[in-house]
Amino acid sequence: MKKIDVQMVEDIATGAALLGTGGGGDPYVGKLMAIQALKKNGPVNLIDIDEVPDEALIVPAAMMGAPTVLVEKIPSGKEIFKAFDSLKSYLGDEIFAVLPIEAGGVNSMIPIAVAAEKKLPLIDADGMGRAFPELQMVTFHLYGVSATPMVLADEKGNSLLLNTINNFWTENIARNATVVMGGSVMVAIYPMRGKDLKKAGIRNIVTKSAKIGQSIREARKNGNDPIETLLNTIESYVLFKGKINDVIRRTTGGFVRGEAHIEGIDQYKGETMTINFQNENLIARRNGKVVATVPDLICTVDAHTATPITTEGLRYGQRICILGIPCDKKWRSEKGIATVGPRYFGYDIDYVPVEELIKNC
Amino acid sequence: MKKIDVQMVEDIATGAALLGTGGGGDPYVGKLMAIQALKKNGPVNLIDIDEVPDEALIVPAAMMGAPTVLVEKIPSGKEIFKAFDSLKSYLGDEIFAVLPIEAGGVNSMIPIAVAAEKKLPLIDADGMGRAFPELQMVTFHLYGVSATPMVLADEKGNSLLLNTINNFWTENIARNATVVMGGSVMVAIYPMRGKDLKKAGIRNIVTKSAKIGQSIREARKNGNDPIETLLNTIESYVLFKGKINDVIRRTTGGFVRGEAHIEGIDQYKGETMTINFQNENLIARRNGKVVATVPDLICTVDAHTATPITTEGLRYGQRICILGIPCDKKWRSEKGIATVGPRYFGYDIDYVPVEELIKNC
């Protein structure tokens, strides 16, 4: 059994922020919450999906809302425990373990804080293998798992327990409540049994995040190129390198939406890239031609340090490298593409795997 | 102990629609729900506040949202039982009785349907003695009773259990959820103990409504003037008689807001009246001069039959009589006026009791 300590938290935060593809929250805010909980309660046990009994109840914990808001509206740290306790008391059953719902700087950390505080193990799995903006955009949904009963809690002390007829209604009602409650809330959601997670979950997100974070950290320490190291650590492709020219960003309806324009540098000089995002990066176009789309991962990192940059962290003049990473194969099913493919987000683009698109560049 | 039968339901619906001052829902839709429940389950026992033990749990049941929506989006009839059951199960205690939260064509009837279905008595009390548009606008609020835990349920099968830090947050979150859930929902709200109701409730709303409805019905049957009869039945004043010239109405943010312009007839010929409303009638001006404001009741009835007309029922050409009725004295306190006086609704008008205003006309 692995133990998650403060060093590993740092690595997970970095790696998960990369896999968060621009969303999932800022790793700095996330780390503070997790480290505080570890310092108070000691290290957290990390377990594999197969260690979860079939009938055991497990609960993902996360932040919901626009990450732009979370940067200024720091959670009290208590509301996620409240959400978790309310859901537990409603379900009237013991919770065996917690897990992340997605990768991301905050959403990889919140479940660690809950695991530490509640003395529960953390499961090395999630429902995305990356981050997505809407509640039904999880592999759990593809396998018919209900997002409700779920609990939303804000830092003021308001909370809300939701039961719906399907996950689209959950997204609809919870998203609007999130906006009213201040733009970001903490949620305990998709309670399910071990056997459901084994079918519907994506394995190894925590260890994968930790490995990515560790490789970046060690490359920097050893004077190696962290981006080179990254390319050797996980299957990934450089889509572009450039300087941010312009970022248009609006926080509306509980999301941050916008686009980033990047001017090529080095071997990309004279070229351009545009990235559209809704919390997460959705579409990357090089010289107007699509080179990667959801559900594949479009990751923005600092061109020199490989530090992941969230969509709310994108700034004029930054030199960034854009990486493409193939998504989990669960997303490449017909239902997966219908749920999180480019057309769901309103783009008239067919999904083509990034590893194929990149061959034509 | 009084029994509520179908005849009494008809009378209560009429009287409560009058006291609903334009809001509280259409009596036709409300009656259908209550009569159906009575036919299935038999008559309902009506009890006085003083028959409720101090420690007994009591729960008001109501429709929340824009009445304009309810006219086209008929409730399934099941969602209020679901809301009630969810709240009961959350509270983990027996519910002794139900009661209306306000007077109104629908909101006087829903608690009767719940009482019939759940075999519980109905308490002859409410939290307004009339109808108001927002959740915190109840005498319960003036005495510090929390609106939460409350449950909202829609006709699709979605439901939501809310816990908040104060009644304004409840209004805010629940109102937005209502809009998302289709514009009107059923709610079980303000659960409280008998001793709280005895302090904070308004007595006799059900028997008062029944008496008003009965007097109108009998006056018609006996060939008497129903408006004359009404004036002799409860303390009330004729503010105006006229023909509706124009109605401006917008359903927005979960409310119907607007104003009605009325041209005088009979002894009011050559004069005008304007009524501003937000679900309920708020301000009445005769020839530009204020003659009644919230929290006093401004009631619109058919000039010949005395049938109460809701704000969504106001139509060009209708001949109506506008009545002023003094509100319960709980509303005339400083906190009462701050909660539901003209200034709360954005009007730069001091509250003056209708019986004083009418003297200067």
Give the model confidence (pLDDT) of B166-175 as tens digits: 999 999 999 9
All residues of chain B having their beta carbon less than 8 Å from the beta carbon of residue A167 are none
- Amino acid B172: pLDDT: 95
All residues of chain A having their beta carbon less than 8 Å from the beta carbon of residue B162 are 158-161
Domain hosting residue B238, numbered range? 226-360
Q: Is the per-residue pLDDT at B78 higher than 60?
A: yes
- Amino acid A197: pLDDT: 98
- Report the C-alpha gap between A186 and A63 in whole angstroms: 4
Do residues B188 and B61 share a domain? yes
In a domain, A177, yes or no: yes
Q: Is the per-residue pLDDT at B33 higher than 90?
A: no
Cα–Cα nearest to B268, from B238, B247, B242, B250 = B242
- Report the C-alpha gap between A158 and B170 in whole angstroms: 9
Contact A32, A26 (CB under 8 A): no
CA angle B226, B228, B230 (to 5 degrees): 65
Do residues B295 and B197 share a domain? no
CA angle B180, B20, B124 (to 5 degrees): 105
Contact A269, A340 (CB under 8 A): no
> Is residue B256 very low, low, confident or very high in pLDDT (cuts 50, 70, 90)?
confident
> Is residue B17 very low, low, confident or very high in pLDDT (cuts 50, 70, 90)?
very high
Residue carrying the six token digits 């013991």: A94
Report, as an integer, the average pLDDT of B225-240. 96
Q: Kindly report whether the peptide bond that precedes residue A100 is cis, defined as omega within 30 degrees of 0.
A: no
- Asked if the Cβ–Cβ distance from A176 to B180 is below 8 Å, we say yes
Q: Which long-range contacts (CB under 8 A, 24 or more apart) does A226-231 make?
A: A226/A305, A226/A306, A227/A301, A227/A303, A227/A306, A227/A321, A227/A323, A229/A306, A230/A18, A230/A301, A230/A306, A230/A323, A231/A323
* Region of poorest pLDDT, from A16-30, A179-193, B49-63, B186-200: A16-30
Domain boundary among A205, A235, A264: A205
Tokens coding A211: 């490995």
In a domain, A54, yes or no: yes
Helix (H) or strand (E) holding B125: strand B125-126
- Amino acid A183: pLDDT: 85
All residues of chain A having their beta carbon less than 8 Å from the beta carbon of residue B160 are 160-163, 173
- Amino acid B67: pLDDT: 61
> Is residue B329 very low, low, confident or very high in pLDDT (cuts 50, 70, 90)?
very high
In a domain, A130, yes or no: yes
Do residues A201 and A247 share a domain? no
> Is residue A72 very low, low, confident or very high in pLDDT (cuts 50, 70, 90)?
low
Do residues A171 and A240 share a domain? no
Report, as an integer, the average pLDDT of A123-147. 96
SS3 assignment, position B121: coil
- Report the C-alpha gap between A111 and B16 in whole angstroms: 51
Report, as an integer, the average pLDDT of B214-229. 96
- Asked if the Cβ–Cβ distance from A176 to B177 is below 8 Å, we say yes
Q: Which residue of A has its CA nearest to B160?
A: A162
Exposure class string for B311-345: b at 16+ Cβ within 10 A, else e: bbbbeeebebbbbbbbbbebbeeeebbebbbbebb
Reported as a single tens digit per residue, the pLDDT across B259-291 is 999 999 999 999 999 999 998 999 999 999 999
Mutate to test the interface with A, among B86, B91, B155, B158 (most CBs of A within 10 A): B158
Report, as an integer, the average pLDDT of A104-115. 94
What does B28-91 look like in DSSP terms, one character per residue? HHHHHHHHHHHHHH--EEEE-GGGS-TT-EEEEEEEEE-HHHHHHS---SSHHHHHHHHHHHHH
Helix (H) or strand (E) holding A12: helix A6-19
Do residues A298 and A190 share a domain? no
Report, as an integer, the average pLDDT of A20-36. 88
CA angle A85, A90, A93 (to 5 degrees): 80
Report, as an integer, the average pLDDT of B160-187. 94
Report, as an integer, the average pLDDT of B238-249. 96
How many structural domains compose chain A? Answer: 2
- Amino acid A70: pLDDT: 55
> Is residue A68 very low, low, confident or very high in pLDDT (cuts 50, 70, 90)?
low
Contact B113, B224 (CB under 8 A): no
- Report the C-alpha gap between A349 and B294 in whole angstroms: 56
Q: What is the CATH number of the domain that holds A313?
A: 2.40.390.10
As a dihedral over the C-alpha atoms of residue A140, residue A141, residue A143, residue A149, rounded to 10 degrees, the angle is 70
Contact A271, A287 (CB under 8 A): yes
As a dihedral over the C-alpha atoms of residue B241, residue B242, residue B247, residue B252, rounded to 10 degrees, the angle is 10
In a domain, B220, yes or no: no
- Asked if the Cβ–Cβ distance from B158 to A163 is below 8 Å, we say yes
Reported as a single tens digit per residue, the pLDDT across A314-329 is 999 999 999 999 999 9
- Asked if the Cβ–Cβ distance from A180 to B172 is below 8 Å, we say yes
Do residues B46 and B155 share a domain? yes
Looking at residue B107, its amino acid is: N
Report, as an integer, the average pLDDT of A65-73. 61
Chain B closest CA to A183's CA: distance in Å?
A: 12
Contacts of B317 (CB under 8 A, 6+ apart): B243, B244
The B-side interface with A (CB below 8 A) comprises 86, 90, 156-165, 169, 172-173, 176-177, 179-181
All residues of chain B having their beta carbon less than 8 Å from the beta carbon of residue A172 are 180
Chain B closest CA to A319's CA: distance in Å?
A: 42
Do residues B134 and B194 share a domain? yes
Nearest to A162 among B156, B160, B179 (CB): B160
Report, as an integer, the average pLDDT of B328-334. 97
Q: Is the per-residue pLDDT at A361 higher than 80?
A: no
Q: What is the CATH number of the domain that holds A17?
A: 3.40.1610.10
Task: Write the secondary structure of A40-97 as one string of H (helix), E (strand) and C (coil).
Answer: HHCCEEEECHHHCCCCCEEEEEEEEECHHHHHHCCCCCCHHHHHHHHHHHHHCCCEEE
All residues of chain A having their beta carbon less than 8 Å from the beta carbon of residue B158 are 162-165, 169, 173
Tokens coding B141: 């609020």
Nearest to A158 among B86, B164, B180 (CB): B164
Cα–Cα nearest to B41, from B135, B140, B122, B113 = B113
Cα–Cα nearest to B252, from B25, B66, B71 = B66
- Report the C-alpha gap between B152 and B186 in whole angstroms: 6
Cα–Cα nearest to A69, from A262, A309, A310, A295 = A310
- Report the C-alpha gap between A74 and A79 in whole angstroms: 11
Contact A12, A106 (CB under 8 A): no
- Report the C-alpha gap between A299 and A34 in whole angstroms: 23
Do residues A181 and A327 share a domain? no
- Asked if the Cβ–Cβ distance from B177 to A173 is below 8 Å, we say yes
Q: Is the per-residue pLDDT at B228 higher than 90?
A: yes
Contact A110, A184 (CB under 8 A): no
> Is residue B74 very low, low, confident or very high in pLDDT (cuts 50, 70, 90)?
low
Query: For chain B, what is the radius of gyration of the CA atoms?
Result: 19
SS3 assignment, position A175: helix
Exposure class string for A51-70: b at 16+ Cβ within 10 A, else e: bbeeebbbbbbbbbbbbbbb
As a dihedral over the C-alpha atoms of residue A309, residue A315, residue A317, residue A322, rounded to 10 degrees, the angle is 30
Domain boundary among A205, A240, A260: A205
Do residues A230 and A346 share a domain? yes
Chain B closest CA to A73's CA: distance in Å?
A: 18
Q: Is the per-residue pLDDT at B64 higher than 70?
A: yes
Determine how many CB atoms are found less than 10 A away from the CB of residue B179.
Answer: 20
Report, as an integer, the average pLDDT of A57-75. 76
Kind of pairing between the strands at B122-123 and B44-47: parallel
Q: Is the per-residue pLDDT at B352 higher than 60?
A: yes
Q: Give the Å distances, CA to CA, from A155 to A80, A114, A182, A185, B24.
A: 9, 16, 9, 7, 34
- Report the C-alpha gap between B55 and B57 in whole angstroms: 6
Report, as an integer, the average pLDDT of B284-311. 96
In a domain, A217, yes or no: no
Pick A94 or A67 by higher pLDDT. A94
In a domain, A339, yes or no: yes
φ, ψ at B227 (rounded to 5°): -75, -40
Do residues A66 and A172 share a domain? yes
All residues of chain A having their beta carbon less than 8 Å from the beta carbon of residue B173 are 158, 160, 177, 180-181
Cα–Cα nearest to A306, from A235, A238, A208 = A238
In a domain, A40, yes or no: yes
- Amino acid A355: pLDDT: 96
CA quadruple B33, B39, B40, B44: dihedral sign? positive
Chain B closest CA to A145's CA: distance in Å?
A: 16
Do residues B117 and B70 share a domain? yes
- Report the C-alpha gap between B227 and B251 in whole angstroms: 31
In a domain, A194, yes or no: yes
Do residues B136 and B263 share a domain? no
Report, as an integer, the average pLDDT of A41-70. 90
Q: Is the per-residue pLDDT at A73 higher than 70?
A: no
Report, as an integer, the average pLDDT of B316-326. 97
Q: Is the per-residue pLDDT at B1 higher than 90?
A: no
Reported as a single tens digit per residue, the pLDDT across A137-148 is 999 999 999 999
All residues of chain B having their beta carbon less than 8 Å from the beta carbon of residue A179 are 176
**Beta bridge pairs of residue A97:** A58
All residues of chain B having their beta carbon less than 8 Å from the beta carbon of residue A90 are 90
**HSE value, Cβ hemisphere, 13 Å, CA-based, for A339:** 23
SS3 assignment, position A340: helix
Domain boundary among A140, A172, A205: A205
Contacts of A342 (CB under 8 A, 6+ apart): A282, A283, A293, A294, A349, A350, A351
> Is residue B72 very low, low, confident or very high in pLDDT (cuts 50, 70, 90)?
low
- Amino acid B312: pLDDT: 86
Q: Report the complex ipTM.
A: 0.84
SS3 assignment, position B14: helix
Q: Give the Å distances, CA to CA, from A265 to A92, A139, A209, A241, B35.
A: 57, 37, 28, 6, 76
